[in-house]
Structure 1
Amino acid sequence: MSDLVSIIMPVYNGEQYIAEAIDSVLAQDHENWELLIINDGSQDKSAEIIHTYLDPRIHYFEQENAGVSAARNLGLTAMKGDYFCFLDGDDRFTPHSLSSRLAVFEDQTDVDFVDGQVEKWNQDFSKHLSTWNPKFRGQPLSDLVKMTGHSFFGPSWLIKRKEGKTYQMMEGLSHAEDLHFYIKLAADGGNYSFSNETCLLYRVHNQSAMSNLKGLGAGYLTLDINLDQLDLPPSLRRAYTRKRKSIMFKSFLRAGKVWSAFRYLFG
């Protein structure tokens, strides 16, 4: 039997897109997977749609609304896979998403995290906006903290599960929670690599993280504070602070929010 991959999918009021996300998992050419769908207190027809899928590899959980990190944590606790990854309920996998990344693990036995290309599409998937290409191989901690964009787009890593290790995300964050999670993983050691194939089709719409600048800025700031818990060189800590202020300053300016831009920069 080939390696089991756990796919963790949080859903909150996702009736418009959830079927597309599930169908993209069912279309995988690597068939040994389990899909853990966590309904995070949805008030729409998400549960009704999910229950139409009878594949025994799909496992359904419900919780009161507690946020994406809490939903993912439920999946992380319940997963049984040799590898695991995340898929949001409004995005899609490509058919080779799992197999292309697993092939890298097979070829490069010293890696712990494998990424792939990410295509950004508009809300109805009628227009391809851009493609993110990973550009880093090796120990990713410094690269992640510096936020170069070479080893991190979003929740697109396939992660080799370590026996006996507990995986949990910081709850209460609505933005940058996946970056914080990956930084914690990298701080414990491990190498990053990537496939040259596209693994994720990312939907850009009004609920996308980058559209909520205040929430994103708050997430970056919370992450800055929590980096103090890691034994990082002072120069690396300063590099993160400079980068998150630069990102948010430019983002606020592009949105025409000049006062917010300078308040974040000097706050």
Structure 2
Amino acid sequence: MSRFEILMPYYGDVRLMQDAVRSVLAQDGDDWRLTVVDDGKEPDVPGWFESLADPRVRYLRNETNLGVSGNFNRCVQLAEYDYLVLMGCDDLMHPNYLKVIRGALERFPGAGMVQPGVLVIDADGNPASSLADTVKRKLYAPKDPGPLLMSGEPLAMSLMRGDWLYFPSVCWRTKDMQATAFRADLGVIQDLAIIVDLLLADVPLAVTPEVCFSYRRHAVSESSVTAFTGKRFEEARRFFRETADRLDAHGWHRAATISRRFISSRLHALSMIPAAGRKAGVRGVGAMLSHVAGRRA
């Protein structure tokens, strides 16, 4: 029987993290373990975990802050069971999450990734709808909601058109994840980067439509000017062009062409122009237009 590591890289809001932990504790079966790796310094967190007194829960605190990619990598290397989940510390598992994942792996035993159905919620936990999620579902996600198994260049083409996965909800085969690593040079697109690594290693993805996970989408914390300076889009341009070269070298030329165009990322920048004008003025609008035009950094 397969066993599951639920790994939670934690930094930030204590209450949301506690809600996330409670949602994991509601899972059925005895084939799972939760490990929380704390990359922060909130004073009351260790005592709260000690009070749980639950043998299914491990709590570890990093001696020094590792950052997002560093903490993700530590979590993955801690995994000892067959499959792992890198759950967001503000997301929620529904009580049927592991039941859905077990069913998908039974149906598709060769899958190295499983994407279940996801409910998007807002900061207060209410069902939410955003332009990004509507585009994911209507334009980029497969028209067949599943269950289905995808792999190879067709899957690479689909994800290069637009990343329709909800990374914190995905269940991964541990040996595949431990064979690669999150890139420290990427700040916002490291999840798609590791998926590309797995695709090039011929790891297939199972998709199942049953909703069993709530993904929390916060209002753009881009109330800060820094979100509109263009740095995140410079990173995206670099990533998509590098990925196109890798896909070409692998013989996946159609997927490479799509990656080189990075149309979904450019459309995202286009949608941000009004906010960029309000928050960062001419500089912000210029950064967005530069990405829309696909200019080199």
TM-score (norm 2): 0.77
Segments of structure 1 that go 5 or more residues without pairing to the other structure are none
Residue 174 (structure 1) aligned to one of 187, 198, 209: 187
1:1-267 equivalence runs, <5 A: 2-43=1-42, 45-63=44-62, 64-129=64-129, 135=142, 137-139=149-151, 140-147=155-162, 149=164, 152-162=165-175, 166-206=179-219, 212=227, 214=230, 216-227=232-243, 228-229=245-246, 231-232=249-250, 233-242=252-261, 243-257=263-277, 258-266=285-293, 267=295
C-alpha contact (below 8 Å) 1:13/1:44 kept by paired residues: no
Q: Tell me by how many angstroms 1:56 deviates.
A: 1.5
Cα 1:89–1:218, aligned 2, differ >3 Å: closer, same or farther? farther
Cα 1:97–1:48, aligned 2, differ >3 Å: closer, same or farther? same
Q: Tell me by how many angstroms 1:127 deviates.
A: 4.1
Query: What is the one-letter code of the residue matched to 1:69?
Result: S
Q: Tell me by how many angstroms 1:45 deviates.
A: 3.8
C-alpha contact (below 8 Å) 2:115/2:166 kept by paired residues: no
Cα 1:141–1:22, aligned 2, differ >3 Å: closer, same or farther? same
Segments of structure 2 that go 5 or more residues without pairing to the other structure are 278-284
Corresponding residue SS for 1:52: helix
Q: Tell me by how many angstroms 1:207 deviates.
A: 6.6
C-alpha contact (below 8 Å) 1:252/1:260 kept by paired residues: no
Which is helix-richer, 1 or 2?
2
Query: What is the one-letter code of the residue matched to 1:147?
Result: G
Corresponding residue SS for 1:224: helix
Q: State how many pairs are aligned.
A: 264
C-alpha contact (below 8 Å) 1:67/1:172 kept by paired residues: no
TM-score (norm 1): 0.85
Partner deviation per Cα, 1:207-230 (whole Å, 9 max, x = no partner): 779x95656424423422542455
> What is the Cα-based RMSD across aligned positions, in Å?
2.9
Distance in 1, matches of 2:180 and 2:238, equals: 19
Cα 1:13–1:53, aligned 2, differ >3 Å: closer, same or farther? same
Query: What is the one-letter code of the residue matched to 2:259?
Result: Y
Cα 1:202–1:218, aligned 2, differ >3 Å: closer, same or farther? farther
Structure with bigger gyration radius: 2
Percent identical pairs in the alignment equals: 21
Distance in 1, matches of 2:208 and 2:273, equals: 35
Distance in 2, matches of 1:164 and 1:31, equals: 23
Distance in 2, matches of 1:240 and 1:166, equals: 24
Q: Tell me by how many angstroms 1:98 deviates.
A: 1.6
